[in-house]
């Protein structure tokens, strides 16, 4: 999706997925938030500061905590956008196990309908059956939108060719050192929304020296520059932090716009460097 100058001005701004569902462009990610008190405080702070979208997964072990925090937040469920993900062992066990795994996640979250359900990692030879299960979940009204994570074009081709159903979202590791431009071009052509996880490079952002002068010129932090770069690249992005000040910092990105030259400068930082495993060589 091409960025239109002047667009994306508020935390409530959404992208429209390929099935018409609206998904907030900024979300709050809870990967590695294992401490229940930090999770509770983090989710509630995020909602208090205007985040609408919360991204969890079965494997994070915190779906129940997310569910509790959103119920206690006072924000009506229908005003929030909740994503969770199918873990690999269920995918490997096949179609019925995938349906069962979804039931478990939904129960843990304590919600009837999941806004977005994603296959967490491609598992060789197993993804088509899992994708069929997700299609059924969506047809039955249990998930408003369905998608995948960590997919390269060949993974996407496999499930699209087998089912004719195009994922709404592909959530991938994406940051200045891994800009995934060929994947973005493929997804744009197919109408798949790309969602960036680990946008702040799992704590390595400070190593990107080029960001500081750009941040100083805008009166922003390097993290805010990167998150704004994601938005202007047409991405959905889900930064994580358990610190309220950081949660606020990460959503204070709607009052400025990166110039084209700065977008290009960030695009040029790519090193094809992953901090997470390569989906084509994972062994879990
Ligand atoms: C193993 C989990 C990676 C981020 O979702």
Which pLDDT tens digit goes with each residue over 38-95?
Answer: 999 999 999 999 999 999 999 999 999 999 999 999 999 999 999 999 999 999 999 9
Q: How far apart are CA 13 and CA 18, in angstroms?
A: 16
How much of the chain exceeds pLDDT 90, in percent? 98
Which atom of ligand 1 is the closest one to the Cα of 85? Answer: 5
pLDDT for residue 281 = 94
H helix runs in 110-210, sequence order: 127-139, 153-163, 181-190
For ligand 1, atom 5, the nearest C-alpha belongs to: 31
To the nearest whole number, what is the mean pLDDT of the chain? Answer: 97
For ligand 1, atom 1, the nearest C-alpha belongs to: 59
- Contact at 8 Å (CB) between 168 and 147? yes
CATH superfamily of 14-267: NADP-dependent oxidoreductase domain (3.20.20.100)
* pLDDT band per the 50, 70, 90 thresholds, residue 2: confident
Question: Average pLDDT, stretch 105-123?
Answer: 98
Please tell me the pTM assigned to this model: 0.98
For ligand 1, atom 2, the nearest C-alpha belongs to: 31
Which pLDDT tens digit goes with each residue over 78-89?
Answer: 999 999 999 999
With 0-12 CB in 10 A as exposed, 13-18 as middle and 19+ as buried, what is 189? exposed
Is the pLDDT reported for residue 140 higher than 80? Answer: yes
pLDDT for residue 3 = 87
CA of 256 from ligand 1 middle (Å) equals 30
Please confirm, yes or no, whether 51 is among the known catalytic residues.
Answer: no
* Mutation probe of ligand 1 site: the residue of 29, 32, 34, 59 with most atoms within 8 A of C-beta: 59
CA of 237 from ligand 1 middle (Å) equals 14
Question: Average pLDDT, stretch 128-151?
Answer: 98
Pocket lining for ligand 1, CB < 6 angstroms: 31, 57, 59, 197, 276
Catalytic-role residue among 51, 60, 186, 197: 60
pLDDT for residue 1 = 66
């Amino acid at each position: 999706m091409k960025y239109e100058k002047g667009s994306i001005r508020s935390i409530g701004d959404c992208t429209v997925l390929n099935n018409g569902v609206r998904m907030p462009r900024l979300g709050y990610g809870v990967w590695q938030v294992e401490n229940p008190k930090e999770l509770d405080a983090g989710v509630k702070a995020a909602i208090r500061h205007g985040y609408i979208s919360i991204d969890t997964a079965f494997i994070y072990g915190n779906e129940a905590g997310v569910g509790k925090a959103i119920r206690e937040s006072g924000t009506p469920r229908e005003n929030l956008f909740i994503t969770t993900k199918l873990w690999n062992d269920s995918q490997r066990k096949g179609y019925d196990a995938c349906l069962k795994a979804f039931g478990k996640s939904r129960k843990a979250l304590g919600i009837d309908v999941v806004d977005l359900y994603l296959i967490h990692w491609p598992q060789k030879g197993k993804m088509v059956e899992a994708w069929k299960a997700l299609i059924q979940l969506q047809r039955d009204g249990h998930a408003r939108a369905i998608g995948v994570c960590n997919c390269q074009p060949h993974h996407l081709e496999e499930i699209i060719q087998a089912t004719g159903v195009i994922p709404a979202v592909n959530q991938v590791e994406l940051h200045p050192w891994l800009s995934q431009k060929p994947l973005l071009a493929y997804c744009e052509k197919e109408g798949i929304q790309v969602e960036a996880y680990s946008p702040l490079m799992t704590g390595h952002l400070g190593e990107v020296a080029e960001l500081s002068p750009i941040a100083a010129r805008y009166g922003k932090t390097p993290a805010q520059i990167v998150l704004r770069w994601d938005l202007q690249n047409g991405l959905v992005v889900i930064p994580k932090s358990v610190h309220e000040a950081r949660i606020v910092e990460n959503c204070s990105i709607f009052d400025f716009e990166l110039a084209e030259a700065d977008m290009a400068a960030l695009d040029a930082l790519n090193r094809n460097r992953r901090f997470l495993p390569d989906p084509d060589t994972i062994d879990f």
